[in-house]
Amino acid sequence: MAFNLRAKFKGRAFAFGAVFLMSLAPIFIKVGINQSIDPIPLLTLRFLLAAQVLWPLFFLVDRRVLHVQRQHLLPLFLGSVIFAASYLLYYLALPFIGASIDHMLVAVSPAVVLLLLFIDGKRTSTSSLTRLAFVLLGLFLLVAPSGSLHVVGILLGLGMTLTYGAFLFYVEKYLADVPSVTVTIYVDTFVAVLLGIFYLFRYQAWVPIPPNGWGIILFTGLFTTAFAHFFYVSSVKAIGSGETALINPFETVFTVTWAVLFLGESLTAMQWLGGGLILLSAFLIGRKLAATPTPV
């Protein structure tokens, strides 16, 4: 019993450590954008650095997770395409909208998973439809009433929400038999390659980065990606994906807190209410998905 309690405490510590670190990434990227640094090089080099750290790290910790069956390579690559698209849309939205709004839109993704499961033929309960309705209401309150949000930023953010939700659904449907650690390593690596290709096609030359930009890349690549993902998959191994998923909404809570404290962002009362509805619904949907595969 004592061993199980220690394992659960360790797993939860890993999970909260992961969401804490990941919550810092949008803040550092927004600081770079406010200093006129192009977000795409920041994103590309972030993942290239993270991939170079994750492989030797897991080679030392548990090299078995680096092995993947050949038939899983194509599904991993296709999932990486979706994941890379979600990150690109997220970063492209940040110059137009605040990090707090952008990250609240991330919290809508569990509702996208729920909707895709329904389209895929999963039976949906009335309570889940109610949660989905609350998400839509929260989304409306978040982006509609003030009229001060940039339309392009909102559209890019919503595109990120849809693609990230699609990625979560894809992993559940097509990569369920691949260990989460292996999925993380290969997806991050494929994303680094895909972003590198996108970078070359877009700029066709090296984009100069100021010293503070390199500081952002080092921090986000090492801490908010490589170490954060290592903590995340360690928590999944210790306490399971269900309980880890229930901690995920705290990432948005942390990000909004940092955005208000350090970026000077502010939300209207309606936006706070909308964000609260989204976070509450995301937590309830995550708990439902983790507890019972069907009905959802």
Chain centroid offset of residue 162 CA: 12
Please say whether the beta carbons of 283 and 249 come within 8 A: yes
In whole angstroms, give the CA distance from residue 244 to residue 240: 6
Would you give per-residue pLDDT tens digits along the chain (296 residues)?
A: 554 667 777 888 888 899 999 999 999 999 999 999 999 999 999 999 999 999 998 899 888 989 999 999 999 999 999 999 999 999 999 999 999 999 888 888 888 888 888 888 877 677 777 878 888 888 888 877 655 678 899 999 999 999 998 998 898 889 888 888 899 999 999 999 999 999 999 999 999 999 999 999 999 999 999 999 888 888 877 777 666 767 778 888 899 999 999 999 988 888 888 888 888 887 777 766 655 443 33
pLDDT at 217: 96
pLDDT at 22: 93
pLDDT at 241: 62
What percentage of the chain's residues is helix, strand, coil (to nearest 5)? 80, 0, 20
pLDDT at 293: 42
pLDDT at 255: 92
Please say whether the beta carbons of 31 and 263 come within 8 A: yes
* pTM, full prediction: 0.87
pLDDT at 247: 78
In whole angstroms, give the CA distance from residue 246 to residue 35: 35
pLDDT at 186: 95
pLDDT at 194: 96
pLDDT at 92: 95
In whole angstroms, give the CA distance from residue 232 to residue 250: 13
Please say whether the beta carbons of 75 and 186 come within 8 A: no
The one-letter amino acid code at 244 reads T
DSSP three-state, residue 21: helix
